[in-house]
Structure 1
Amino acid sequence: MTFIIHAPNVHQGGGRALLVPLLDAVNGLPCIAILDARLSLQTALPSSTVVMRVPPTLVGRLVGEWRLSRLAMTGDVVLCFGNLPPLFGNAGCVQVFLQNRFLFGKRDLTVFGWRTRLRLQLERFWLGYRLKNTMRVFVQTPTMARELAMDSGIQARVLPFLPVASFSKSGRTPRRFDFIYVASGEPHKNHRNLVEAWKILAMEGLYPTLSLTLDHEEDRCLVSWIELQVRSNHLQIENVGPGSREDVDQLYRESGALIYPSTLESFGLPLLEAAAMKLPILAAELDYVRDVSVPVQTFDPGSPVSIARAVKRHLGMGEPSLLPMSPAAFLQVVRVMDQ
């Protein structure tokens, strides 16, 4: 039996964070890994793993799918780690690890640029056309399993896993940031509302520090906008870039809390990482958050005001509730204003 990991479209973000340790864990098993040419590996893979690279082009992807159809034999296990089942049939036992919630259900794709929107529409068609009841499907949270069952009738098994890591507060360095947000720059990550919340706090004379992990090249439009808001409003926001796994772990140790305003996640890996590091979590009041964590404060991710209020509550700076006046007092004010 050969274990085939088919991941021709995984090279960054949470997908990469899970794929790399999975490849390391295959040690000793006969394995073929069909990988994105852009995926960087910091350490050599076990000698038992044969690696095939796929260029990030339409032709390259089709060739990768064709290779898979030829490689998988009866008795082999094929793990499709890039959300999509094989485009062509094969003789192996196919298992699909579904990580992208934009590929099924009712989703607003207009928030993406036309290239990403077109890719997602094609992948949604691909998933709907090729995903079969005979395939084993794995997802990472109960919320995702429920949505998939409602949308397609397919029953997925909830089977999350995490990289083996020594998340510990031992050796903690002095605090550098009040908050950290570990996320790439896709629209659903909701950076703009987070920055708008920081602007609201600044108008109230509050300047908590915040670190972001945006890529200066891939997210350059968003990064430029954030830099403008920082300069215009004197915000204490620093984009440190994506960094290595070790860099991100160090950022956790230097931060007081994780803030997580994302509107849609299949897993929310930073939530688990922060919980393992014993960091307080402020997050959107959404099902995916409660699937994997217990936040100390929650908020409406669509409201910068709600985000700002959650930050203030966490910092011990709650605002007084609105006290309604009596009808008589209201009329008195109106009469005085009228005069």
Structure 2
Amino acid sequence: MAETDIPVRFLRISAFGINSGGGLVLLKALLEGSGDDLRSIEIDERVSASQVGVPGGTATRSVRRSFAARIFSSIRAARDAREDDVLLCFNSLPPLVRSRARVVTYVHAPHFVGAHAGIRYTAITRLRLFIERAWFRFAIGHSDEVWVQTPTMAHSFHRLYPTVTVRVVPLLDGALHRMVSSMDDARVGSAGATPLWSDKAFFYPADTVGHKNHVNLLRAWALLHDDGHDAQLWLTLDSGELDAMLAQAGLARERVGSVRALGRLSRDDVLARMSASSALIFPSIAETFGLPMLEATALHKPVLASERDFVRDVCQPAQTFDPTSPYSIAHAVTRFVEGEGPLPGPFLSAAAFRAKLLS
């Protein structure tokens, strides 16, 4: 296709409900520098067009703080959009009806993936969250893509909505983008040689009692294997026990790479194996003491352990993680092997974000 044949897209934004905090900062960043490609915007009545930087001449509608007004706004924005438009639902709520436009829902509220569970809210806030989540479940099929800010949000969405196309597209305002870019430049400049994962061996002496948490540890090793990181994992399980743990984790044997079932070891063999390892990994969820962590410390071996109070009762861990999250365990192992490294990124400027929207 010749450059002159590239279709021109226009942007429409639905932003009711965005009136403070990080959402307002990002909305201002998105609108800064917007020009002829912005066709219309629906903004919250609590902010003005000049406050968020809506370009002059843009069709702007102020939406009242009521669900009726927001429902009407959502339907209007979807029906007004044309085939050459991108409708960006910047308030996390997909349109209630289908649109001819390409629809992208940008989600930056955690309750849509259940991350609010266990948090106490006022009655009116609980009602609002309930309605918004019901809206989201009903309307998510009207969105072509969901964009989120972090891989953690993306993983949560894949679990709840496996058929939805999800992209990680973190938007930063100009000042923060410049600061983060300078941090990345400094870290890349000081990076050393790439470590050899195959030289690393992590030891976990534990039986199959549930709180020992082998299932999440094996899921973490599968994530590392998927990323091409095949450090060894030594477990004091026999082959049958390892197969049972893999079945509970929903994993085939080849998914976990270099995992070895050593069987039951004597105390002397445990200490010898600990001495030969690169580190003790200890994902247990509950302990009264945690003897292996003290043994590793006495042998001058690093400890990677759950972020739990009982861990710090007996050692000073080199890395900690959330034992309920395979991603957290895998990230801790990566930090131990590779160091902190650059920020995960890439983080997008407003200009890059708009370019990705309209491409």
State the TM bucket, normalised to the shorter chain.
Answer: 0.3 to 0.5
Larger radius of gyration between Structure 1 and Structure 2: 2
The structure in which a higher percent of residues are helix is 2
Structure with the greater relative contact order (CA < 8 A, sep ≥ 6): 1 or 2? 2
TM-score for both structures, normalised by structure 1: 0.47
TM-score for both structures, normalised by structure 2: 0.45
